[in-house]
Structure 1
Amino acid sequence: MTEHPDLARLQRRLAEFAAARNWQPYHTPKNLASALSVEASELVEIFQWLTPEESARVMDDPGTAHRVTDEVADVLAYLLQLCDVLGVDPLAALAAKIERNELRFPLPGAGDRRPDA
């Protein structure tokens, strides 16, 4: 079983990779957000003309699966770099957003239930 690196380690590796190539001047929030959008669009492009059924089976084809995996990695890489530059903890941000959504979109009938019922 492969060990999964933690987000902090991945962010450090991305920062080290960029630093070794002197790319930091280009890694502004604006540029990273733009690159993130481009990579997300490249992921969307893979699915653009597929039917819902075809899209559900996209990982069955090794060539397409490789493209999807690469684009997911690119999206995550730019998102992690953006978070690093802005000082955003992506896991804390996601946890907080899920909590807000749970309050904003309660389960149907959740307000009707009484604890003693």
Structure 2
Amino acid sequence: MNKILEEIIEFRNKRGWKDHDTPQALAKSIIIEAAELLENYQWEDSEPDLENVKEELADVLIYSLAMVSDLGLDPEKIIREKLIKNKIKYPD
């Protein structure tokens, strides 16, 4: 996880995008990319373009991981914490 996170941040920083990647801008970008992902499933009777699904999922993950990094959070830790809460909320 750390390796890919470093690659994302390095890519962004080399292009001078760090100043624009505020938590608010990243949250908006996550929603925009998620909407683009949803477009693949807009029409129930059509098959989604798997290549586009992968690209849009990657965009959502990239923006999410950039936000995690900028907020100083540990992605594995916050996922595990949420899974624990979900297990309590939705027991077997």
Q: Gapped runs of 5+ residues in structure 2?
A: none
Deviation of residue 98 (structure 1)? 1.1
**Residues 51-97 of structure 1: per-residue CA shift (max 9 Å, x gap):** 5xx56xx4xxxxx1110110011010000001000112122111111
5 Å-filtered alignment, 1:7-86, equals: 7-51=1-45, 58=48, 64-86=49-71
Measured in 1, the distance between the counterparts of 2:54 and 2:2 equals: 21
Q: CA deviation at 1:29?
A: 0.5
SS in 2 for 1:75: helix
Alignment-mate amino acid for residue 15 of structure 1: I
Q: How many residues align?
A: 92
Instruction: Give the TM-score, by structure 1 length.
Output: 0.73
Identity of aligned residues (%): 33
TM-score by length of 2: 0.91
Give every structure 1 segment of 4 or more consecutive aligned residues whose post-TM-superposition deviation is greater than 6 Å.
Answer: none
Q: What is the alpha-carbon root mean square deviation over aligned residues?
A: 1.4
Alpha-carbon distance in structure 2 between the residues aligned to 1:72 and 1:50: 19
Deviation of 1:28 after TM superposition, in Å, equals 0.7
- What are structure 1's unaligned runs of at least 5 residues? 1-6, 59-63, 108-117
SS, match of residue 40 in structure 2: helix
CA distance in 2, matches of 1:84, 1:25: 14
- Match for residue 94 of structure 1 among 63, 75, 79: 79
Shift of 1:50: 1.7
CA distance in 2, matches of 1:16, 1:82: 14
